[in-house]
Amino acid sequence: MKFSNLSLSKEMLANLDEIGYKEMTEVQSQALPFILEGKDVVAEAKTGSGKTAAFGIGLLEKLDVKKFKPQSLVLCPTRELADQVAKELRLLARATHNVKILTLCGGAAFGPQLGSLRHGAHIVVGTCGRILKHLKKETLSLDELDILVLDEADRMLDMGFSDEINEILSFCKKRKQTLLFSATYTDEVKDVAATITHEAEFVKTASKEVANRIHERFYEANDKLDAIIKILSNFELDNAIIFTNTKIEADELAKNLQKVKIDALAIHGDLEQYDRTDVLVQFANKSCPILIATDVAARGLDIKELSMVINYDLPHSPEIYTHRIGRTGRAGCDGLAFSLYTAYESDKADEYRDAQREFLDISELKVVNGFEMKPKFITLVIEGGKKDKLRAGDILGALTKDANISGSSIGKIDIYDRQSYVAIDSSMIDAAHEKLKNSKIKAKKFSLWIL
């Protein structure tokens, strides 16, 4: 079904065509007509199904740009997901003049957010804790809110945000449109949906979407570090996420892999937000091939091309297992999901036995001598970002023209409010750093360093 079949503005249709949105995904074709009619919607749709565009097009079409007050609020479980949603909304809003989309998340300074709120915003995207803080301090008002969106509701509830959601609702007017999107439709999600929506239309697309093609294997191994090295060395892969059940294990495993020349970084709840950003940027821009994560720390992380997921520890529930391995095998690619268990954990592992999963002994994998995993890129950090009016083109121009670095040696560029991250081919990182250190970007010198 084409977007042109819907009653969308000419500007929106032209923009959708320009950014390559030709045919609607299943969730868009089912949910968008209801959203445009102003009905409440509860949608069960997995990550990567196009749900952000489904609710994003709906709320942008209903926006009154002349009214500089929050008319739509999108609640997300994590800062990373909020950033992704805001980025997608800005892309969809390109054809709508003067739309202001503001991100309010924890881990960022409160002061600059106050300044942005004083200038007004049409759409607010954020995490529950920070949204609630602004509401209590009366720096954010939802008196004019027309649409409330809960994105990845199951994750928010898993992370214990039920009370915060209810408290945020107490600041909203009763008559509003509520849209709830969730990858799974658990009893807890059903209860929340029944409480916060009114005569909602239910959309279920997860069963109709093409399932991720994931090869699942379980290996019995008493030396799990040795098993990880064998797996990584026997399968050609660009990147992998390894899940542990504790923060201590995540740190320990990262250190042990680094000792054997496998580049790995750990992410967990004890990291400060700036450290967390550094780690996630490096993994996403291919400056680090292995990310070791706890479940909560990995929430909201969306890597489109992930070669492999490894469960260093068996997860606490089948639902967590599904969430973990669902990160690989996307976009039509085959994925690999391997889980390790010791002889003492065989009863727990037996709970996962079915016809599709292979149960093997790690001794079947050969030792590959001299194996190491080094990143293709290394990240250069520039102490300047959106607040300094820096754009990706400015940084690219400074590197290719002034520093004489070829475009093929430059990877992903991520620009945040006060910092920018640039992936540089590892063989060129020192030259890029040295040359850019003595150059200017947009006629200004910025501090920079190598991560």
Q: Which of 162-176, 201-215, 384-398, 413-427 has the lowest mean pLDDT?
A: 201-215
C-beta atoms surrounding 130 within 10 Å: 20
Same CATH topology for 3-204 and 213-364? yes
Going by pLDDT thresholds of 50, 70 and 90, the confidence category of residue 179 is very high
* pTM exceeding the 0.75 threshold for the entire prediction: no
- The reply to whether CATH 3.30.70.330 applies to domain 377-450 is yes
Kindly tell me if the per-residue pLDDT of 299 is higher than 80: no
Mean pLDDT of 395-423: 86
Mean pLDDT of 173-189: 88
What percentage of residues in the chain have a pLDDT greater than 90?
49
Using DSSP's 3-state secondary structure scheme, residue 338 falls into strand
Kindly tell me if the per-residue pLDDT of 422 is higher than 90: yes
Taking the domains of the chain in order of start, what are their residue ranges? Answer: 3-204, 213-364, 377-450
Mean pLDDT of 13-17: 90
For residue 217, give the H/E element and its range: strand 213-220
Kindly tell me if the per-residue pLDDT of 360 is higher than 70: yes
Sheet holding 240-243, edge to edge: 264-267, 290-293, 240-243, 308-311, 334-341, 213-220, 358-361
Mean pLDDT of 144-164: 87
Q: Which of 110-114, 244-248, 400-404 has the lowest mean pLDDT?
A: 400-404
Instruction: Supply the pLDDT for residue 359.
Output: 93
Going by pLDDT thresholds of 50, 70 and 90, the confidence category of residue 207 is low
Are the C-beta atoms of residues 339 and 314 closer than 8 Å to each other? yes
On average, the pLDDT of the chain sits at 88
Q: Which of 27-36, 57-66, 317-326 has the lowest mean pLDDT?
A: 317-326
More confident residue, 161 or 197: 197
Overall fold of domain 3-204 = Rossmann fold (3.40.50)
Sheet holding 410-415, edge to edge: 410-415, 420-425, 377-382, 448-450
Overall fold of domain 213-364 = Rossmann fold (3.40.50)
**What's the pLDDT tens digit per position in 361-374?**
898 888 888 899 99
Kindly tell me if the per-residue pLDDT of 419 is higher than 80: yes
Kindly tell me if the per-residue pLDDT of 283 is higher than 90: yes
More confident residue, 288 or 398: 288
Q: What is the DSSP string of 309-325?
A: EEESS--SSHHHHHHHH
Mean pLDDT of 274-280: 88
Sheet holding 72-76, edge to edge: 101-104, 123-127, 72-76, 147-150, 177-182, 41-44, 201-204
